[in-house]
Amino acid sequence: MVAFGITLTRIEGAAAQAREFEEAGFDIVGTGEHVSFNVSVSNSFISLAAAAGATSRIELMSTIVLVPLYPAALLAKLAATLDVASGGRYHLGVGIGGELPREFEACGVPVAERGPRTDEALALCRRLFSEREVDFDGRFTTCRGVTIDPAPIQRPLPIWVAGRQKAAMRRAANLADGWLPYMYTPEMLHESIETIDTIRRADGKPPIRRGLFIFTCVHPNGDEARRMAAERLSKQYAQDFSRLVGRYALAGTPDEVATQLRPFLDAGAETVMLSSACHQSYVDENHRLLAAEVLPAFR
């Protein structure tokens, strides 16, 4: 069965919105993060901690944590603590960021180092999640006898790598449990899964957990849904999305969105994180239509 997640849109009311998602039948609640971005955005650990305290069943996923902006041991501590606080419901979704160099500058991290910093941090986090008194000598992090206590409840705590490029695929294959690409077509999703699993087979690893992060807008008027999605994503990413919505987002009537979603599932997606691409005044209705008129087609 496909697991469907939905992302928070209310920084101020994260707890209440997470409860709404749980009651509506979503399987996962997620949220992304930035230090500075084109639109208002939260910190994933803080918002998901609020969500954890307000819910009991729905799983939690960072979509995504900007790994290179954190000291690696601190990242491990935050993730482990959230997993314990939520009763073992947390998934660590990660990415390297970089589309806004100013937030890297503000955090004192060279944007050109974001890839190797992320790889090293994930390797250390893996050890800190499962070992005690860890010694580590890396390019960016050195530690002696470090123990994360309490350790995560989940063994292993699931790590999902997001991205679009071959470097992200290699990162997922070597360091993660799940793959969560975004701005993808079904064809791109299928090819990326094949690439990742080929690497993993060579290393004797099981197939990757297959995910997808996709922006979504549902409206009784399909043209209005597509207009709202293009407007929102153009603002969010500071570029014209009017010709990209049909390729990289789900937008239309409930039946149209269900039809658009099916090829992604056929391509291998087993966990689908939906993120509202519409103006704030419409997000509640978007969520309602997704839960009531789109998801039942796949249950």
Written as tens digits, the pLDDT of the chain (299 aa) is 899 999 999 999 999 999 999 999 999 999 999 999 988 899 999 999 999 999 999 999 999 999 999 999 999 999 999 999 999 999 999 999 999 999 999 999 999 999 999 999 999 999 999 999 999 999 999 999 999 999 999 999 999 999 999 999 999 999 999 999 999 999 999 999 999 999 999 999 999 999 999 999 999 999 999 999 999 999 999 999 999 999 999 999 999 999 999 999 999 999 999 999 999 999 999 999 999 999 999 98
Domain ranges of the chain: 1-157, 179-299
Predicted confidence (pLDDT) per residue in 211-252, tens digit: 999 999 999 999 999 999 999 999 999 999 999 999 999 999
> Distance between CA atoms of 141 and 124, rounded to whole angstroms?
9
Distances in whole angstroms, Cα of residue 212 to Cα of each of 24, 39, 63, 253, 261: 20, 22, 11, 20, 11
Domain 1-157, CATH among 3.40.50.740, 3.60.110.10, 3.40.50.1980, 3.20.20.30: 3.20.20.30
Distances in whole angstroms, Cα of residue 189 to Cα of each of 160, 243, 250: 15, 20, 15
Q: Choose among 163, 127, 55, 170: nearest CA to 30.
A: 55
Q: What's the pLDDT score for residue 200? A: 98
- The residue count of the chain comes to 299
Instruction: Write the CB contacts of 125 (distance below 8 Å, at least 6 apart in sequence).
Output: 72, 75, 76, 79, 92, 159
DSSP 8-state class, residue 294: I
- pTM for the complete prediction? 0.96
- CATH class label, 179-299: alpha beta
- Can you point out the beta strands (E) in 44-133? 59-62, 65-66, 90-95
